[in-house]
């Protein structure tokens, strides 16, 4: 059934409010699945390392049925623990490759002790050896022994994917990750190794570790007598912060912090650094403190019977409970009733009319 145009438009805002569909989990590559299976197999080897047949006569079992260490029973126990029952892809792979694993266990593991290399690289051809990449398992940039000179990650390393290019670690750059980025200097360089070390924080470029080795100063620093030193922005003739803030210098920068709420302008943190106090506050013992207007000699609340309550920076005038509030007084209950009766007496009666 096709919705009327108006009804369809009415559903549009509701559809826009719906949360976006969750992104599907990234499907593991064949190499990742194979590595996962091998990792679980190796864990199974660890878990079963100290077991035997458990029939009570271990010596007889080892003599007549072969040692548990290399037995089919141990292999079966390991295989049974490889995949969760709900992991369809793991179980599918195990079912397809169980004969390969059995052949390796019974005949080939002494010749090929590295199960990952034999199973995932040479047999299934879904992975590559470390330091190689791509469909043909070519050597990564810089060679398979130290890809990217040991200073980066080779694209596709250990898989049948990627292009072998280097993604350099922080501080390194170049096709082989042997060059230093700005902010780093070469502390070791030979035919096989390149080490880049961070410059002093004051340097944008440098040739050594101190602030006297800078080639160029970082922003917020300035060259002074051969060394990069911090610029105190807070000491500038025109302050960088607003009138309601104070400046706090930091290495290579500064921050603007809010003045205390009792201040009109300030030179630092807290009520003791106010330039002036806001109304309702006065300087006391070197800092802006609240003025208690209710305790002053000159009354703040002038109406008769009125109570005064101090508040931060101000005060309030309130009649006591039960008192009636008038323009110039707080009238007690009895007095208020008498006043009301007197007022009623002065009203004209029916006879007067």
List residues bridging with 248 in a β-sheet: 255
Residue 31 pLDDT > 50, yes or no?
yes
Whole-prediction pTM: 0.63
The per-residue pLDDT for 129 is 96
Helix (H, G, I), strand (E, B) or coil at 116: helix
DSSP output for 299-336 = -S--SBT-EEEEETTEEEEEPPTTPEE-SSBEE-HHHH
Residue 2 pLDDT > 50, yes or no?
no
Structural element, H or E, at residue 100: helix 88-103
Determine the Cα–Cα distance for residues 229 and 231; give it in Å rounded to an integer.
7
Determine the Cα–Cα distance for residues 59 and 65; give it in Å rounded to an integer.
10
Residues 6+ apart with CB under 8 A from 124: 30, 34, 97, 100
The per-residue pLDDT for 351 is 58
Closest CA to 264 of 252, 248, 281: 281
Determine the Cα–Cα distance for residues 225 and 242; give it in Å rounded to an integer.
33
List residues bridging with 149 in a β-sheet: none
Averaged pLDDT, 128-154: 95
Averaged pLDDT, 108-125: 94
Q: How many CA atoms lie within 13 A of 312 on its CB side?
A: 3
Structural element, H or E, at residue 32: helix 30-47
The torsion of the CA quartet 7, 9, 10, 14, rounded to 10 degrees, works out to 130
Residue 274 pLDDT > 80, yes or no?
yes
The per-residue pLDDT for 48 is 87
Averaged pLDDT, 75-97: 90
Average pLDDT along the chain: 87
Give per-residue pLDDT as tens, 205-240. Answer: 999 999 999 999 999 999 999 999 999 999 998 889
Least-confidence region, from 53-67, 91-105, 164-178, 326-340: 53-67
Written as six digits, the tokens of 125 are 């051809």
The per-residue pLDDT for 199 is 97
DSSP 199: P
Express as a percent the part of the chain with pLDDT over 70.
Answer: 84
Helices and strands (DSSP H and E) totals, the chain: 7, 22
Angle at 44 between CA 38 and CA 46, to 5 degrees: 110
Written as six digits, the tokens of 205 are 């470029």
Give per-residue pLDDT as tens, 231-271. Answer: 999 999 888 999 999 999 999 999 999 999 999 999 999 99
The per-residue pLDDT for 337 is 62
Determine the Cα–Cα distance for residues 217 and 252; give it in Å rounded to an integer.
10
DSSP 20: P
The per-residue pLDDT for 55 is 56
The per-residue pLDDT for 27 is 85
Domains defined for the chain, CATH in brackets: 30-123 (no CATH), 148-154+162-230 (2.10.220), 245-290 (no CATH), 301-331 (no CATH)
Residues 6+ apart with CB under 8 A from 121: 127, 128, 129, 137
Structural element, H or E, at residue 99: helix 88-103
The per-residue pLDDT for 349 is 56
Beta strands in 176-242 (DSSP E): 179-180, 184-189, 194-198, 203-206, 214-217, 221-224, 227-230
């Amino acid at each position: 059934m096709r919705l009327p145009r108006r009804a369809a438009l009415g559903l549009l805002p509701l559809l826009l409010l719906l949360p976006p569909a969750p992104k599907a989990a990234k499907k593991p590559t064949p190499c990742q699945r194979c590595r996962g299976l091998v990792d679980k197999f190796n864990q199974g080897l660890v878990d079963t390392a100290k077991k035997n047949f458990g029939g009570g006569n271990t010596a007889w079992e080892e003599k007549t049925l072969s040692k548990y260490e290399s037995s089919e029973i141990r292999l079966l126990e390991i295989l049974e623990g490889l995949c969760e029952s709900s992991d369809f892809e793991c179980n599918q792979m195990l079912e397809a490759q169980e004969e390969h694993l059995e052949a390796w266990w019974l005949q080939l593991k002494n010749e090929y002790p590295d199960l990952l290399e034999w199973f995932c690289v040479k047999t299934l051809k879904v992975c590559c050896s470390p330091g190689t990449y791509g469909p043909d398992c070519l050597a990564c940039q810089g060679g398979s022994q130290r890809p990217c000179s040991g200073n980066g990650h080779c694209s596709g390393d250990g898989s049948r994917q990627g292009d072998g290019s280097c993604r350099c670690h922080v501080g390194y750059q170049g096709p082989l990750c042997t060059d230093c980025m700005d902010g780093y200097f070469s502390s070791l360089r030979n035919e096989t190794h390149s080490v880049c070390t961070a410059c002093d924080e004051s340097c944008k470029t440098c040739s050594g570790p101190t602030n006297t080795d800078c080639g160029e100063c970082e922003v917020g620093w300035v060259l002074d007598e051969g060394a990069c030193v911090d610029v105190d922005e807070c000491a500038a003739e025109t302050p960088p912060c607003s009138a309601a803030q104070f400046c706090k210098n930091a290495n290579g920068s500064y921050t603007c912090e809010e003045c205390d709420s009792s201040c009109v302008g300030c030179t630092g943190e807290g009520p003791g650094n106010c330039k002036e106090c806001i109304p309702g506050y006065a300087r006391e013992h070197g800092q802006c403190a609240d003025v208690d207007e209710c305790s002053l000699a000159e009354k703040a609340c002038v109406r008769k019977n009125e109570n005064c309550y101090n508040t931060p920076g101000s005060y309030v005038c309130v009649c006591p409970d039960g008192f009636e509030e008038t323009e110039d007084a707080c009238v007690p209950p009895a007095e208020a009733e008498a006043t009301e009766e007197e007022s009623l007496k002065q009203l004209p009666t029916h006879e007067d009319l």
